[in-house]
């Protein structure tokens, strides 16, 4: 926590991202290290589950929520060792998570879970699940990894594709390549999650491709 305004707390996440959170969504933790990266905790993490806490109250938890005081009673929760087995740092597995876990997700600016997410939120969460730490916004993610030479027909699975509809070229959108000319993303113009054939002649796709700037490879 870095500031307060009544019942609102100014907080900074482990990725350096700042925002406001109502105190009702928080609980004090003595000795907690705010610099810890949440995705690396040993405790069980929700893959989309319902938890019953010590009071007997049932709470639905999104992907990425840590089970601090309770037990998963429906859905799936995995500890760190099991997460590393189920979600390896491999391109095919990362793409499978982006296409499967976020299928049907609506676009929500600032969101990072299948309950609602934006383009960079989905990318950050999926890579985090597979043990790779990315920054929060698309323009920040565009500084990570290495530049991919060539165009959309030269990209590999799990490469990140960056787009800008601004004259100054500031990155405004990110998608994940599934292979040459194939991508998965959360697009505001699509209303949410969508798999795209980037060589399609559809008006939406042609407009999107016209704003493509470059690709970056996150996995070595």
Whether the per-residue pLDDT at 36 is higher than 70: the answer is no
Contacts of residue 109, defined as CB under 8 A and 6 or more positions apart, other chains included, come to 118, 188
pLDDT band at 1 (very low <50, low <70, confident <90, very high): confident
pLDDT band at 17 (very low <50, low <70, confident <90, very high): confident
Whether the per-residue pLDDT at 166 is higher than 60: the answer is yes
For the chain, list the domains and their CATH numbers: 1-36 (no CATH), 40-86 (no CATH), 88-217 (3.90.1720.10)
Summarised one tens digit per residue, pLDDT across range 118-154 is 999 999 999 999 999 999 999 999 999 999 999 999 9
CA distances from 155 to 178, 210, 216 (A): 8, 17, 9
Q: Which residues pair with 52 in a beta bridge?
A: 58, 71
Whether the per-residue pLDDT at 13 is higher than 90: the answer is no
- Tell me what the mean pLDDT of segment 149-167 comes to: 96
Whether the per-residue pLDDT at 181 is higher than 60: the answer is yes
> What average pLDDT is seen over the chain?
93
Do 86 and 94 contact (CB within 8 A), yes or no? no
CA dihedral sign, ordered 197, 199, 204, 209: positive
Strands (E), 54-203: 58-61, 70-78, 112-113, 116-117, 146-148, 160-163, 173-179, 182-187, 192-197
pLDDT in the model for residue 19:
84
> What is the biggest distance separating any 2 CA atoms in the chain, rounded to whole angstroms?
57
Summarised one tens digit per residue, pLDDT across range 37-89 is 789 999 999 999 999 988 899 999 999 999 988 899 999 999 999 999 999 99
CA distances from 220 to 89, 91, 153, 215 (A): 10, 10, 19, 14
pLDDT in the model for residue 180:
96
Whether the per-residue pLDDT at 172 is higher than 80: the answer is yes
């Amino acid at each position: 926590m870095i500031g307060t305004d009544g019942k609102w707390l100014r907080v900074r996440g482990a990725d350096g991202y700042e925002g406001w959170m109502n105190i009702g969504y928080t609980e004090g933790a003595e000795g907690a290290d705010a610099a810890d990266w949440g995705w690396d905790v040993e405790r069980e993490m929700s893959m989309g589950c319902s938890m019953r806490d010590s009071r007997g109250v049932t709470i639905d938890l999104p992907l990425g929520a840590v089970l601090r005081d309770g037990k998963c009673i429906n859905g799936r929760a995995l500890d760190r060792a099991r997460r590393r087995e189920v979600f390896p740092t491999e391109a095919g597995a990362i793409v499978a998570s982006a296409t499967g876990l976020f299928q049907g997700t609506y676009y929500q600016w600032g969101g990072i879970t299948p309950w609602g997410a934006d383009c960079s939120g989905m990318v950050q969460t999926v890579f985090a699940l597979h043990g790779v730490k990315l920054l929060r916004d698309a323009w920040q993610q565009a500084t990570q990894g290495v530049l991919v030479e060539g165009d959309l027909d030269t990209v590999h699975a799990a490469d990140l594709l960056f787009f800008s509809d601004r004259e100054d070229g500031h990155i405004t959108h990110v998608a994940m390549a599934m292979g040459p000319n194939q991508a998965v993303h959360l697009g505001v113009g699509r209303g949410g999650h969508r798999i795209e054939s980037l060589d399609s002649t559809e008006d939406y796709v042609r407009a999107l491709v016209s704003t493509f700037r470059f690709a970056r490879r996150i996995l070595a």
